[in-house]
Amino acid sequence: MRTPISPTAPTPLQRLGFDHPHTQQHCWSANRVPLMVLVVCGQMAFSGVAQAAAAKDNGAKADAASVPTAYEVSILYADRTWIWKDGAAYFGKNGRSLRAWTSREGAASVGQGKWIATRDGKMCMDLAWRSKAYTGQQNRTCYSHRIKGGNIEQRKDPDGEWYSFKRSPEDPADEYRKFEPGDTKAAQFEESSKLIDSKN
């Protein structure tokens, strides 16, 4: 609620140095156009500053990134197969089971473990890899996610570069285009496992 202006409070013209009533009247009549121009220009300048500030705020909001929830991360992966250059990983929908296989340089490897989605926007894979030559310990690999400008970006932790994971609308370069619904490489995983576990 505005405080009423007291009779002794200076008027806008008095604050500009026009103290005497006759001087006010004279200056108003003689300088009416310049004064109005001053007021209008002041309002336009203030409006321009306000618009620039609003645009800056909107730009900052557009550039700001948010972290997806654990649920949002989980629906990106659950019951999907991530196709790699030399293998794939299947993210189970129940119990967060995870299995993967690779065939680098003609040597097959399989990994088994679990995956989790965290509250800070990460997807972590706990996999123990094995091949004919070795059996490894379970290791954790995590990927961070962020939502920026309506798109999802991903990076490999701890210090990988952010890259486009899933855009809206989709882009052919999106990493998420390499995800297939269901367990599409189960046969390759089973074949690699049998090859590794055979005694020959």
Residue 106 token pair? 């003609």
SS3 30: helix
Q: Which helix (H) or strand (E) holds 59?
A: helix 32-63
- Phi, psi of 176, deg, nearest 5: -65, -15
CB contact at 8 A, 78 and 160: no
pLDDT number for residue 173: 87
Which 3 state secondary structure label does DSSP give 141? strand
Q: What is the pTM of this model?
A: 0.66
Contact between 179 and 80 under an 8 Å Cβ cutoff? The reply is: yes
- Give the C-alpha separation, 56 to 47, whole Å: 14
Mind listing the pLDDT tens digit of every residue in the chain (200 residues)?
A: 444 444 454 433 333 333 433 434 433 344 444 434 333 334 443 334 334 444 444 444 556 889 999 999 999 999 999 999 999 999 999 768 999 999 876 688 999 999 999 999 999 999 999 998 889 899 999 999 999 998 999 999 999 999 999 998 888 889 999 999 999 999 999 999 998 988 65
Cα dihedral angle (188, 190, 194, 197), rounded to 10 degrees? 110
